């Protein structure tokens, strides 16, 4: 284990950052940012040697500084680093491995440096193949930061100061059955919510005068709040898009490479095979590398333009050597199986939080991709944004566990840790979040002690699979129903 050296005090690092780094480049924990100087496995260390359990990094997929990944990159960097316009084995072997892990006819690869580049290229492929320009995306989606994919990312363009949505972009509702347009609590059991959400896409297809080039969606929305689409949704949407002459793009940039546990790719449980798949982040374990995988037919359409595609660094020998090492480690160390086993335990235990804390409205996820949605009122499913931010901060300062919050109302506590996360790590997280939720509800109880009894004792609808009959009477320990916006500032 290599000791990390701090070259300057943290205060000086902050001063230089404030002077030379754009203000829009935001940090985690902005009021008291962490200076992380070393990582190992599922842990990160600050300049004082304090250890933090990393539940944020879906980038360090097989663990920070995995020795086999470090060795592969170091060896190739010491041998050759050049662009991909020369033959080299690491590139073709990486493409071969990716294609072998894809279903159907997904067999042609283009290498890039990032998820943003991958999604930008995917749009070009779709538009060239269909001869169309319009795109359907999902509300709250995030597909990258370059101009072309900012145009199809409501997560970005709906923010204050964001550019207006282009006319060629059509936004379908996010298939969120908890707080989306069609909620499970508003319909009888057995209602096909997947069909209701798919009908929204069909309406956009019907209203498009020139026809849609592509439907693009993250297989599981991450920035949108850890959303698990209802059964049948993607199948119905893909059928409709293809019938209308469009192609389908699955964005696996955040959730691919075994994270969901049950499958290698997050689109697979939905019984679909996309026309184009984009991958990045976990592929390089922190090294910038990504890819677009598509069918020979779409690749031929792209080649027919006569315009040469090349990417100076995309597919370079070092990047491909690292990506190959990452995929070998996933297989050799059975990390997909680990995600399934630990993820099931984590999800089951996290769902139990709903019985203990009124703040917990919904718990959802698969594998090592889990979201805990905090609400101020379970019946109305009002977001507890302030509470989520307080949990994130307290987890860091009191328990040295790094989590984040996201979603349209920033009220979903997210977990997407390195794939080496263990059941013991899950227990550490569960102990800590219980302490945080207990602390918050104690603060609420102090403020709501004078609340009307009929409000405090109202039955609460519970939608979790562990709930019996769907109704839970509030326990004496969790009577608080008010928004947490008045929680003390010290949290």
Domain containing residue 279: CATH number: 3.40.640.10
Res 490 pLDDT > 50 = no
Residue 491 placed within a domain: no
Q: Which residues are CB-contacts of 245 (< 8 A; sequence separation ≥ 6)?
A: 130, 132, 211, 212
Q: For residue 361, what are the contacts with CB-CB under 8 A and spacing of at least 6? A: 178, 354, 373, 374, 375, 378, 381, 384
- Tell me the percentage of the chain whose pLDDT exceeds 70: 90
pTM: 0.88
Q: What is the pLDDT of residue 316?
A: 95
User: CA-based diameter of the chain, in Å?
Assistant: 75
Are 412 and 373 in contact, with CB atoms under 8 Å apart?
A: yes
Does residue 234 sit within a domain?
A: yes
Candidates 129, 438, 435; CA nearest to 300 is 129
pLDDT for the residue 166: 87
- Plot region of 3 (φ>0 → left; ψ -120 to 50 → alpha; else → beta): beta
Domain that holds residue 430: 8-62+333-445
Mean pLDDT of all residues in 375-384: 95
Question: Mean pLDDT in the chain?
Answer: 89
How many independent structural domains does the chain possess?
Answer: 2
How does DSSP classify residue 423?
H
**Mean pLDDT value of segment 232-244:** 98
| Angle between helical axes of 67-77 and 317-332 (0-180°, round to 10) | 160
Which residues lie closer than 8 Å to 41 by C-beta, 6 or more apart?
Answer: 63, 64, 65, 66, 418, 420
Per-residue pLDDT, 3:
55
Asked whether residue 337 falls in the same domain as residue 385, the answer is yes
Residues 262-288, mean pLDDT to the nearest whole number:
97
- pLDDT at residue 14 tops 60: yes
| Per-residue pLDDT reduced to its tens digit, 321-356 | 999 999 999 999 999 999 999 999 999 999 999 999
- Classify strands 169-172 and 134-138 as parallel, antiparallel or unpaired: parallel
- Shared domain for 434 and 305, answered yes or no, is no
Distance CA 203, CA 125 (A): 24
Can you give the pLDDT at residue 453? 53
Do 338 and 423 fall within a single domain? yes
Which tens digit of pLDDT belongs to each residue from 53-74? 999 988 999 999 999 999 999 9
Same domain, 381 and 396: yes
* Cα distance between residue 274 and residue 383, in whole Å: 33
Side-chain-side CA neighbours of residue 125 (13 Å): 29
Regarding whether 82 and 123 lie in a shared domain, the answer is: yes
Asked if residue 299 and residue 425 are part of one domain, the reply reads no
**Residue 143, CA distances (Å) to 93, 167, 323, 447 in order:** 27, 18, 21, 41
Tokens of 99: 């294609």
189 and 244 housed in the same domain = yes
In this prediction, residue 4 has a pLDDT band, given cuts at 50, 70 and 90, of low
**Residues 53 and 73 placed together within one structural domain of the fold:** no
Q: If DSSP codes are grouped into helix, strand and coil, which group holds residue 227?
A: strand
Q: Is the dihedral of CA 456, 458, 464, 467 positive or negative?
A: positive
For residue 169, tell me if it sits in a domain.
yes
Residues 285 and 359 in one domain: no
The answer on 233 and 109 residing in a single domain is yes
Supply the CATH number for residue 389's domain: 3.90.1150.10
- Asked whether the beta carbons of 440 and 487 are under 8 A apart, the reply is yes
CA–CA separation, 93 vs 331, rounded Å?
Answer: 15
What is the structure's pLDDT at 40?
97
More confident residue, 302 or 460: 302
List, for residues 447-489, the tens digit of each pLDDT value: 777 555 544 444 443 343 333 333 333 333 333 333 333 332 3
Shared domain for 73 and 88, answered yes or no, is: yes
Which of 292, 316, 331 delimits the end of a domain? 331
* Residues contacting residue 441 through CB under 8 Å, at least 6 positions apart: 357, 358, 359, 477, 478, 480
pLDDT at position 452: 53
């Amino acid at each position: 284990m290599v000791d990390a050296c701090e070259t300057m005090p943290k205060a000086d690092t902050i001063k230089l950052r404030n002077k030379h780094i754009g203000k829009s480049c935001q940090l985690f924990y902005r009021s008291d940012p962490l200076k992380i100087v070393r990582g190992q496995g599922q842990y990160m260390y600050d300049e004082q040697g304090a250890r933090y359990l990393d539940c944020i990094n879906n980038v360090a997929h097989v663990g920070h500084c995995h020795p086999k990944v470090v060795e592969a990159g170091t060896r190739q960097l010491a041998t050759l680093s050049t662009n991909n316009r020369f033959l080299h084995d690491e590139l073709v072997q990486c493409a071969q491995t990716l294609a072998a892990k894809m279903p159907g006819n997904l067999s042609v690869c283009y290498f890039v440096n990032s998820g943003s580049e991958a999604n930008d290229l995917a749009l070009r492929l779709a538009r060239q193949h269909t001869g169309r320009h319009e795109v359907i995306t999902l509300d709250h989606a995030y597909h990258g930061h370059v101009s072309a994919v900012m145009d199809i990312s409501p997560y970005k363009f709906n923010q204050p100061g964001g550019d207006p949505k282009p006319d060629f972009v059509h936004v379908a509702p996010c298939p969120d059955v908890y707080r989306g347009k069609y909620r499970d609590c508003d319909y009888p059991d057995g209602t096909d919510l997947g069909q209701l959400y798919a009908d929204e896409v069909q309406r956009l297809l019907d209203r498009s005068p020139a026809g849609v080039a592509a439907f693009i969606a993250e297989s599981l929305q991450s920035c949108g709040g850890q959303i698990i689409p209802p059964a049948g949704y993607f199948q119905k949407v893909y059928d409709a898009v293809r019938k209308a002459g469009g192609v389908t793009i699955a964005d696996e940039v955040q959730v691919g490479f075994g994270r969901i546990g049950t499958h290698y790719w997050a689109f697979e449980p939905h019984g679909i095979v996309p026309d184009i798949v984009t991958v990045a982040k976990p592929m390089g374990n922190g090294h910038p590398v990504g890819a677009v995988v598509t069918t020979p037919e779409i690749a031929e359409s792209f080649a027919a333009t006569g315009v040469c595609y090349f990417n100076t660094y995309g597919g370079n020998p070092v990047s491909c050597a690292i990506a190959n090492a990452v995929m070998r480690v996933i297989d050799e160390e059975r990390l997909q199986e680990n995600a399934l086993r630990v993820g099931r335990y984590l999800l089951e235990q996290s769902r139990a939080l709903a019985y203990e804390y009124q703040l917990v409205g919904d718990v959802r996820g698969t594998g090592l991709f889990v979201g805990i949605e905090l609400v101020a009122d379970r019946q109305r499913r009002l977001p507890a944004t302030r509470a989520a931010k307080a949990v994130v901060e307290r987890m860091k300062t009191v328990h040295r566990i790094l989590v984040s919050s996201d979603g349209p109302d920033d009220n979903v506590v997210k977990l997407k840790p390195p794939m080496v996360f263990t059941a013991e790590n899950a227990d550490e997280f569960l102990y800590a979040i219980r302490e945080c939720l207990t602390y918050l509800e104690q603060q609420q109880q102090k403020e709501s002690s004078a609340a009307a009894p009929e409000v405090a004792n109202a039955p609460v609808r519970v939608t979790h699979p562990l709930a019996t009959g769907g109704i839970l009477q509030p326990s004496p320990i969790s009577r608080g129903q008010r928004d947490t916006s008045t929680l003390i500032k010290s949290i």
